[in-house]
Amino acid sequence: MSENDSTAVSSAVKGAAVPRVVPGGEIAGADAMAERLHEDIISSSYTFVVDTADIRPPSLLALPSYLAGNVARIGHQLLMEALAAHDMRLPHFAVLSALADFGPQAQHELADRLNLNRSHLVGYLDEIEQRGLVRRERDPDDRRRQQVALTPSGTTLLGQLQRVARDSQTDFLRMLTEAERETLISLLRRVVRAHDAARLTGNDVVVEPSPTAGSPGSVRRPPA
């Protein structure tokens, strides 16, 4: 509430009749004061500032997994809305991105890279193949295997999706400086890399501390 608003309310209170108890238990002047305050509030515009630091339990805010989960939901919603404008879902976008970054991939390799259920991936591929965004073809190094590749249409659409995805994430992290965003991304990437290594090798991993700020560090298997 601004200083002017506070003054307006204070004046309304001071100018109102002071309630007093009269025989019979009735309060004289109460109705007049309430009516005057009501009129003042309606005729004024108030901005109430909520201290967000008090909304969530500090004990939960001390848990990285709780913070990461809530932040992810916010960013995920914005990204999904941006992709939905092009009739795309996040798994579709992930597949197109992987094919653009790594080139043609076998289906099981795509599933492993993206941490997707292999049977679910088949459904996603069917959907974007029907739109002419990817094609399945025989692996030239092993004719028994099929691999998935981007089509020219897929490459064009991916360029558009990457732009709207970046815009959605800029809006998502608008309260951070560019340097803070880079630091956040670097730290999150280190966590993901470590867990990917553990997932694909079936072993726990140790992430070596980064020797310099912003460096991803290195991942190694612990000694047997």
On whether residue 50 sits in a domain, the answer given is: no
Instruction: Report the DSSP beta bridge partners of residue 139.
Output: 142
Distance CA 60, CA 148 (A): 43
Range name among 32-36, 51-55, 101-105 with the lowest pLDDT average: 32-36
168 & 185 share domain: no
Flag whether 7 is in a domain: yes
Closest CA to 14 of 37, 47, 38, 35: 37
pLDDT at residue 36 greater than cutoff 90: no
* 3-state SS record for 104-147: CEEHHHHHHHHCCCHHHHHHHHHHHHHCCCEEEEEECCEEEEEE
pLDDT in tens, 151-180: 999 999 999 999 999 999 888 999 999 999
For residues 180 and 201, membership in a common domain is answered with yes
Q: What is the mean pLDDT of residues 130-139?
A: 92
If asked whether residues 150 and 64 sit together in one domain, one would say yes
Q: Where does the pLDDT of residue 56 fall: very low under 50, low under 70, confident under 90, or very high at 90 and above?
A: confident
Task: Please tell me the pTM assigned to this model.
Answer: 0.63
Contact 132, 152 (CB under 8 A): no
| Number of structural domains in the chain | 3
166 and 97 in contact (C-beta within 8 Å)?
no
Same domain, 106 and 208: no
Tell me, yes or no, whether 149 and 201 share the same domain.
no
Q: Are residues 154 and 185 in the same domain?
A: no
How many Å apart are CA 190 and CA 217, to the nearest integer? Answer: 7
Q: Which domain holds residue 192?
A: 176-224
Q: What is the pLDDT of residues 75-133, one digit of tens each?
A: 999 999 999 999 999 999 999 999 999 999 999 999 999 999 999 999 999 999 999 99
